[in-house]
Amino acid sequence: MENRELSKAEWLDKAEAYCARSEHCAADVRRKLFEWGAPADIAAFIEEKLYDNDFLNDARFCRAYVHDKVEYQSWGRLKIQAGLRALQLPESEIRQALADIDESKYISNLRALIASRRTDSRTNRNSLDDKTLRFLLQRGFTFDEINKEGADTPYND
C-alpha cells in the first residue's frame, strides 16, 4: 500500500469492497480496518456508513452464518450460538437465526455424525461411547438431542 494517508471516502470504498465480496459482521470489519491501519475515528464513521448503506446487516449475517455452519460444518445450535455471541451480535438476531434452522437438515447432520463415529472398530456399533458423546457435545449438540437421535446410547435409562 502507498505511504500516503487515505481519505474517509477511500477508507469507505475499501471497506465496501471488502463487504461486497462476502457477508461480514461489524467485528470482522473493525478487525480488518485495524489490520489496514485505519484511525479509530474513521473506523467508527465507516462502520456507521456500512450499516446505513446495508453493507452490514446483523440479521442477514446471522442467517448466513447459521446456514453455513449447519450446511457445511455440521455444527450444533450451542456452538453456533457461541460463535455468534463471540462476534458481539444482538441476542434477538441470534435467536431468530437459530429458530430458522432447517430441522430436517440439522437432525440429518447429527445422525450422520453419530453414524460416522460408530464405524470406529473400537466402539460398540449399537451404542455411543464417551469419546463420541464428547465429540458431539463439542460440535454444539445438546445432550438431549444426542440422546434422542442416538436412542441406543448407554445414557438412556
- Mean pLDDT, residues 142-147 taken together: 94
Indicate the domain borders of the chain. 8-52, 58-99, 103-149
Please give the helix or strand (H or E) that residue 91 lies within, else none. helix 91-99
- Mean pLDDT, residues 112-131 taken together: 72
The whole-angstrom separation of Cα 111 and Cα 153 is 13
How much of the chain, in percent, has pLDDT values that exceed 70? 87
- Mean pLDDT, residues 37-52 taken together: 95
47-88 pLDDT per residue, tens:
999 999 999 999 999 999 999 999 999 999 999 999 999 999
Residue in the structure block whose three cell numbers are 463420541: 132
Count of CB atoms situated within 10 Å of the CB of 105: 13
The whole-angstrom separation of Cα 73 and Cα 151 is 23
Asked if pLDDT for residue 124 goes beyond 70, the answer is: no
Q: What is the pTM of this model?
A: 0.86
- Mean pLDDT, residues 34-39 taken together: 94
